[in-house]
Amino acid sequence: MDTISIDKYLPDILRGTWVTVEVTILSAILAFIVAFVFGLGRLSNVSIIRWISYICVEFIRGTSLLVQLFWLYYVLPIVLKQFNIDLQLDALFTGVLAIGLNYGAYGSEIVRSSIKAVPGGQREAGIALNFSPLQIMMRIIIPQALMRMIPPFGNLLIELLKGTSLVSFITLADLTYEAKNLRNFYYSESDFIFLILLVIYFVLAYSMTFAIRKLERRITAGRM
């Protein structure tokens, strides 16, 4: 393999890697927020909030992430033009929004089930201490539920990272987009280009796994 040719396409790969990392971080933050909003919404005592959360989660989970990306980036501007609204969403914003909502909807079930798994006696103890419902949730329930959430959230984060490759279909120059472009210019080196792609995704995913396991050990230390 010619070293010079590697030097030519490696900067593009690294630039795409940064975009992938950026999309992953921003989408993960949004997904975390959405997961808690919908997860707590599905546990609400107010039926309308509970049903709205349920419908939103089922709709988002029941449709393809790729279709959601296409709809937000290509279809939504056409629909808005019918109402004389000229709006074209930025590719990065669209990618983060679609991925964050999609994985946040899946994450909401993690939040809901983890909170439900906390023994009922914990809530009763909070009532005995004259805590308000909000104080019980924030000081007693959620801290215990978080320990249950970390492993499944870690798995979801890895899936989110791999899902970011779909943003290449809306012209966002992420790692996959750059690799596909480079393949057109260096077709004879396609095997090496996509090997680099595999290695980078693996390194990113393994780094996340390592960080999540370390966080899990730190949070659970002294609580077992």
List pLDDT tens digits, range 173-210: 999 999 999 888 888 778 888 898 999 999 999 999 99
Decide: 158 and 210 in contact? Cβ < 8 Å.
no
CA 73 to chain centre: 18
Q: Is 15 in contact with 176 (CB distance < 8 Å)?
A: no
32 or 213, higher pLDDT:
32
pLDDT for res 22? 97
Residue 1's pLDDT band (cuts 50, 70, 90): very low
| pLDDT tens for each residue of 152-161 | 999 999 999 9
Q: Which DSSP letter does residue 5 get?
A: H
Handedness of CA 145, 147, 152, 154 (dihedral sign): positive
Q: Is the pLDDT of residue 7 over 80?
A: no
Across the chain, what does the average pLDDT equal?
A: 89
- Which pLDDT band holds residue 221 (cuts at 50, 70, 90)? low
Q: What pTM value is reported for the model?
A: 0.90
Domains in the chain and their CATH numbers? 3-220 (1.10.3720.10)
Examine the pLDDT at 14 and tell me if it is beyond 50: yes
Structural contact between residues 190 and 7, judged by C-beta atoms closer than 8 angstroms: no
Percentage of the chain surpassing pLDDT 70? 95
Res 8 pLDDT > 80: no
- Cα(126)–Cα(141) distance, integer angstroms: 9
